[in-house]
Structure 1
Amino acid sequence: MKASWRALLAETRKRMGYHTSRAFFDHLKKQGVSFNYSYYMRIEREGALPSAKVMREIASALPEKAGEALVLGYCREQFPEHGFLFPERAFSVEAEPPPAGAPADGQTKQKELSLRQVATIVKSENHYYTFLLLSLARTPIRLAEIQEHFPARLVPPVLEDLLRERIILERGGSYSAVSVETRFPEAYNEELKRAYARMDEWDVDFGKRFQLEPFVNKMMIRRVSPRYLGIIRHQLEGLFDLVRSSDENDARFNESVIQLRVNLRKGRLPG
């Protein structure tokens, strides 16, 4: 059974025009997959089934119909006794247009920022807010639209800095983020810790700066049992997972922008 999914993966690669596994992996990597080439070769050549997380990454890096066909094949191998639930699906890579809201040419689906790029983003509050504005945009934004939110004279040098570090793209006077889903590196040194502290300060004013409408405003101080702290934290993590997954595949329907900040502190007081 494993060979059938391996064959489907190889067929998908060839139909997309990649005659070598290396070229196809390079394409996947540009789309933001997290695994390395040796792991991919275990999948295609040795027939190893990937984890569900890797399967989602591969499917997301492919044209929609090709990704769906690959997921169905994956499910058939995972659950052979229920194969009738996952029928084979024909697809045409060449005839399939890019979905609305898909990354523009030159954009990647996911990318981890370098230290130099992080340093550029935190160069000033305007750099950071411009980066956020373009990262959240569903379509490229014209210069005039950007200048509606910032002092006009400050916009060109900010854009120049972000363009130089390949954080944003420019086409025909409109701007977009290089990656539609950026990852910041872990704060493994003091430079990054200071950078993220600055971002935390600027995040406080983001909603006011862009006139986001207050939606929920709650505050609570109370005593709790220590054994509930883990449960509370787990529930909060579930909430953030929900927010991260609450966008539609068709970006045209992602009309609302939300800002969610949680600051949960613990300690002891007398009495």
Structure 2
Amino acid sequence: MNETLGECLQQVRKKLGFLSARSFYIDLSKRLELGFNYSYYMKIESDQLMPSEKVISQLASLLPGADGDLVVATYCKALFPQQMKRLLSATKEEVKEVPVPKKKVSKKDNNPTTHIRSYQMELTEKQVSIVASAKTHYFLFLILTLSRRGIAKKELTNYKFDKVEKALEALVEGKLIYQEDDLYFPSFPEFLFPKAETTALKNLYEKINSYDLKKNEQFGLTKVKRSSFFKRISPRQAEIILMHLDLLFQTIRTADDMDVSYNTEVLSLDLTYYRGKVIG
């Protein structure tokens, strides 16, 4: 592993074919609205400052899986040198003791997007506005942010979207997706919608909620299970249900903690749990 974070970034940059830091930064900024400028990046690469976790998450998510992991590991080593040394030593011992089965390498394993780790980026209000501006914008955003590979425009014809070209252009301009040759990729592995703390965001989310009513039909998803309840239960039962729901949500969130090439199913789950008092 590299001694410093700056040396690690320089190695990764050159490995990806960028001889200058400026060309590397420009390429990254085309794909995502970065939370730091070029001057800040240069201070990281020259080891003049230690960036925040948010900056490292952005950088790592825009790199091929192994390179992103290397940057994160080097960052952790810089922050916690003794602890990381001990952890890495322990890991090496475990590897020696446990036989690892050989894995057959397929062409898909060579695709850098196959091994993207899950990093999260909160959308800006402007980006939410772009996503909510039309149903096509929203559905294309969903497809492309779920994708683990580049998607060609012609692949989208089966969904019969309106004004696909216009929508793709808007998503690229908003740095929600980016284009390489004739393929489109998500700019970030996982986007988070901000809390509806403003009237503008509340209105935008109302539009998105109306699109969600057509989402399953638009994508041709199969209804697997549906239940509806309106009944009396005890407070203890209500708390147990909440605990189970928390476990369910945690299970869904761990989908990207493993090799995402196994994530071949799309889950569409809309769940609202109300509780309160009714006369009688």
* TM-score bracket for the superposition, by shorter chain length: 0.5 to 0.7
Partner of 1:21: none
**Residue 217, structure 1, aligned to residue 230, structure 2:** no
Partner of 2:91: 86
Unmatched 5+ residue regions in structure 2?
15-23, 96-109
Name which of 104, 114, 125 aligns with 2:135.
125
1:142 Cα shift? 1.4
8 Å CA contact 2:144–2:185 kept in 1: the answer is yes
The SS at the match of 2:127 is helix
- TM-score normalised over the length of structure 1: 0.67
Name which of 79, 82, 101 aligns with 2:114.
101
* CA displacement 1:61-112 (0-9 Å, x = unmatched): 76266368659968984499888633389xxxxxxx7745256xxxx95432
* Structure with greater helix share of residues: 2
- Match of 2:128, as an amino acid? V
Partner of 1:66: 70
Alignment of 1:1-271 (within 5 A): 12-13=8-9, 15-16=11-12, 63=67, 66=70, 70=74, 77-78=82-83, 85-87=90-92, 99-102=112-115, 110-151=120-161, 154-247=163-256, 249-271=258-280
Distance 1:164 1:34 in 2: 17
1:149 Cα shift? 0.6
- Match of 1:101, as an amino acid? T
Aligned length: 250
Classify 1:220/1:33 alpha carbon distance in 2 versus 1 (closer, same or farther; 3 Å): farther
What do you get for the CA RMSD once the two structures are aligned?
4.7
Classify 1:14/1:147 alpha carbon distance in 2 versus 1 (closer, same or farther; 3 Å): closer
Unmatched 5+ residue regions in structure 1?
19-23, 90-96
Distance 2:226 2:157 in 1: 30
Classify 1:259/1:13 alpha carbon distance in 2 versus 1 (closer, same or farther; 3 Å): same
- Match of 2:121, as an amino acid? K
- Match of 1:264, as an amino acid? Y
Classify 1:202/1:84 alpha carbon distance in 2 versus 1 (closer, same or farther; 3 Å): same
The SS at the match of 1:256 is coil
Distance 2:175 2:27 in 1: 18
The SS at the match of 2:163 is helix
More contact order relative to length (CA 8 Å, sep ≥ 6): 2
1:191 Cα shift? 0.6
- TM-score normalised over the length of structure 2: 0.65
8 Å CA contact 1:118–1:195 kept in 2: the answer is yes
Distance 2:169 2:49 in 1: 47
1:157 Cα shift? 1.9
The SS at the match of 1:260 is coil
Classify 1:81/1:239 alpha carbon distance in 2 versus 1 (closer, same or farther; 3 Å): same
Classify 1:55/1:155 alpha carbon distance in 2 versus 1 (closer, same or farther; 3 Å): closer
Distance 1:159 1:26 in 2: 21
Classify 1:84/1:142 alpha carbon distance in 2 versus 1 (closer, same or farther; 3 Å): closer
Classify 1:218/1:68 alpha carbon distance in 2 versus 1 (closer, same or farther; 3 Å): same
